Copies of this chain bind each other. A is one copy, B any other.
Amino acid sequence: MDLGRSLFEIFLMFLAAKVVGEVFHRLRQPAVVGEIIVGIAIGPHVLGWITDPNDLLAELGVIFLLFSVGLQTQVSDLVRVGKTAAWVAVLGVVLPFGLGLALMKGLGSELHVALFMGTAMVATSVGITARVLADLRKTELTSSRVILGAAVIDDVLGLIVLAIVTGMAQRSISGLSIVLIVGQALAFTAFVAWVGTHVARRFSVHLDKLRLRNPGLVVSVAVCLGLSAAAAYVGLAAIIGAFLAGMVFAETREEYQLHEKVEPIYDLFVPLFFVITGTHVNLPVLLAPPVLWLGIWVTLLAIVGKLVGCGLAAWGLGRRDALIVGIGMAPRGEVGIVVALVGLQQKIITPDLYAVVVLMSVVTTLFAPPLLRWLLGGRER
């Protein structure tokens, strides 16, 4: 596709995101829902105005989103909620996985198909919830921190389950390779969170000695891009790296006005991520009856699994916060779709089951933001 056409599509997606964002603000609904819906509408499967959504641009958008959320989260905040977050992550993996497995076995699927559907129901996409929390300026609540901490752990657990289940389906799993993947992921997260924070605390006071304009922004974004690429390299989601990078610079964010400087980048690129996510949804396929009925059941269990699993684990925070955590962990977003794509490519699941997972991912993604907004109160902006 030539550059002129690409520019036109970026312009169109940006304009659509902002017009819909304005309308949703006025309706007191979360802009993110409008952005996904408008993406579905103008994407290749419905109106066809967007023919070639740019995934790299989307990736940069979600990286800046999680970087920005990380900037509002200090390591010490996460440590304080660490135990609760760990339980939220574990129960939020076990329950949806068990429900998915049971449903598919009950419907007569083969074991490896049922195991895979369970896995697809495990994923959490922290992007959606992070966006709602950021727009409402609620990232500093305890329940928000539990969600963000649990999302990091959840990503590592989800990776483990995916590695085991795809390995079992291909009968090619070795204990060693699982241990390696998991070890890398855990070592990466721990190393960045602890060592990174100390290094940043030690050296960030010297950033002013650089002759570059905006040294704080430049160095922290370089670290963000580097850690995102490194996270992808060890098999984690790139956005985990971006979140950790933000967290590493959270203590120095005031000094270099990092939050103010990231805001314009956020406003330009983050909405593009959600519009592009929408363009990937093939609405006609999702609405075909066999997919639709199974999809409704899978979606219900996916919601119940996270709501009950994560909610129970967070019960100590009080009923309202437990509910916020349960709903905040429910969106599967692009992570669910990516897991399903792995299953489709490795021929573990059929295209129909792929569409079921996509439906589940879309619905869990769209239902959570309005509820969160209502539970958290307050106005966006």
Contact = CB atoms under 8 A, between A and B. Distances in A.
Interface of A: 3-4, 6-8, 10-11, 14-15, 18, 21-22, 25-26, 54-57, 59-60, 63, 210-214, 217-219, 221-222, 225-226, 228-229, 232-233, 238, 261-265, 267-268, 381
Contacts of A222: 11, 14-15, 18
Copies of this protein in the complex? 2
7 contacts: A6-B59, A7-B238, A14-B222, A18-B212, A217-B264, A218-B268, A265-B268
Contact of A7 (B11, B14, B22, B228): B228
A11 B8 CA distance: 26
Contacts of A7: 59, 63, 225, 228-229, 232, 238
A6 B217 contact: no
Contacts of A14: 221-222, 225
A8 B263 CA distance: 23
Given A11-B225, A228-B11, A264 B267 contact: no
A80 to B, nearest CB: 30
A26 B233 contact: no
Nearest to A221: B268
Residue of A26, A225, A262, A381 ringed by the most chain B CB atoms within 10 A: A225
A214 B264 contact: yes
Contacts of A8: 229, 232-233
Contacts of A22: 210-212
A26 B229 contact: no
A256 to B, nearest CB: 11
A262 to B, nearest CB: 7
Contacts of A261: 263-264
Contacts of A229: 4, 7-8, 10-11
A261 B268 CA distance: 11
Nearest to A1: B56
A211 B26 contact: yes
